[in-house]
A and B are shown apart, each in its own frame.
Chain A
Amino acid sequence: MYRIVILAAGFLVALGGLLFLQGGERDPRDLAADPGLDAVAVTGVETMSAPRVTPQAAGSDLDMSALSAAVSASVAPVPTPTPTPTPEADAMRQVTAAVLASLGGAGAPASSRTGGDLETLIAQSMARGQSDAYVEALLSEAVTTGGLQVPEAMMTPDGRLDTRTLLASIVARSTGTSDAEIDALRAEAVAGGHLTAPAGATTQARSYVVEEGDSLAYIALIFYKDAGQYDRIFEANRDRLESPAMIRVGQRLRIPG
């Protein structure tokens, strides 16, 4: 439970920070079309038979892009495509955001009714004392349904999102005191017998055998305490890795010092 609270706090702080940073980059027209105002009245699109976007849906667009940015930033800077905003595009963006929000719930009018966006859902589930596994499932689902873009280094051999590393990195970024979280992961790795160095110490292991559920970002996190350094491992293993997402269970990877 304590861990969940830390995660919740970290996640929300990270999101808040990103929302704040993003504020500077937003086009004034975005603000004009903010929740509460009628998107159609602002942009006057005729071709679409006047779509109306609920404030909630427009809000979740912002959250989603902040979330995507949080995920990207926690591993490596991945530029988010931002098409040139025209009035039509702005209206379309909002309708599209509403669509993406409902698809993000994998066909869930239910979830859009109870608050909709992922951030709210995660906050709600944490408040209700849901398990880490549930929150991880939520994140995972957001990725598989395309609501969230994740760097390849966060993918596990079976093609799933490495949520433990993602959550740990988000906490690390937001609080700056990530050692406890990372040490916990390292301890797990030692207990699992695939990391020889004791938790907390600089590891002496020069290679690593990929386990189920690992991602390059995870390996970078337990060796370098920084998921963003996955690139060092990827570069050192270029001969056996086609892409950062293509690691296989049982594969031995070189870990540069």
Chain B
Amino acid sequence: MFRSFLGAAMALVITYNQALAQDVGLTEDLSSVSVEVAGKLVTIERNQDTSAQLSGDFIKTSRPCPPFCIAPISAAPGVETVGELEVIAFLESAVASGTGLLIDSRLPEWFQKGTIPGAVNVPFSTLDAANPYRDQILVALGGRNGSGAWDFSAARELMLFCNGPWCEQSRHAIDDLVEVGYPADKLHYYRGGMQLWLLLGLTVETPNA
């Protein structure tokens, strides 16, 4: 009897220590998430330093508007707006299985400075109708151009983000995709973008580091 009590007490101590190992979790029950994206393991967790603060490009409160205006919650009719947990869930399901892409719609120099792990860079300007090579990208996303009309029934689910609520680039990209016929229910908008991702101390990947 005494031994089993001791055993239970030990087990409790061990669990408690494990809980202590991660002070800053994603949610109450989830400390980190690891996903395999294109053969590479990506781990998303939060900065464990509880005294950490934002620095660099993301501490400003006031940027000139236009162009850095406040984005509405909804990017376009039928396009779902999501938060961080949905981004992580999307990586775990759609991106890991290859049926979806997490798209960083900023320009390459921003992408290179740091992005959400598992994201690919499709700058918003490449989805503009003015890009003469846009069709190749639409094909790469899974679109088919039969007799002049695009068919996106087999196309991948996309989740787009840019620098955050003060950034209009992902909305431009979403507008252009909807205009060419990409189904709104295959599009998702992470409005928080890099600004909120960083604010929450979530893992950032530097693509060419």
Contact = CB atoms under 8 A, between A and B. Distances in A.
A98 B121 contact: yes
Contact of B108 (A52, A100, A110, A145): A52
Interface in A69-97: 83, 88-89, 92-93, 95-96
A95 B141 CA distance: 16
Interface string B113-148: 001011111110110001111101101111000000
A52 B137 contact: no
Given A96-B131, A102-B120, A107-B118, A51 B107 contact: yes
Given A54-B208, A96-B126, A103-B101, A108 B120 contact: yes
B32 to A, nearest CB: 19
Interface of A: 47-54, 83, 88-89, 92-93, 95-96, 98-100, 102-113, 145-147
Interface of B: 37-40, 95, 98, 101-102, 107-109, 112, 115, 117-123, 125-126, 130-134, 136-137, 139-142, 205, 207-208
B78 to A, nearest CB: 24
Contacts of B207: 109, 112-113
Contacts of B119: 107, 109
Given A54-B108, A102-B121, A96 B133 contact: yes
Nearest to A114: B40
Contacts of B136: 96, 100, 146
A52 B109 CA distance: 7
A248 B208 CA distance: 44
B136 to A, nearest CB: 6
Nearest to A111: B38
A92 B140 contact: no
21 contacts: A51-B108, A51-B109, A93-B133, A95-B123, A95-B131, A96-B133, A98-B108, A99-B123, A99-B140, A102-B120, A103-B101, A103-B137, A106-B38, A107-B38, A108-B39, A109-B115, A109-B119, A109-B207, A112-B207, A113-B208, A146-B140
Nearest to B96: A107
Contacts of B141: 103, 146
B125 A49 contact: yes
A83 B132 contact: yes
B79 to A, nearest CB: 20
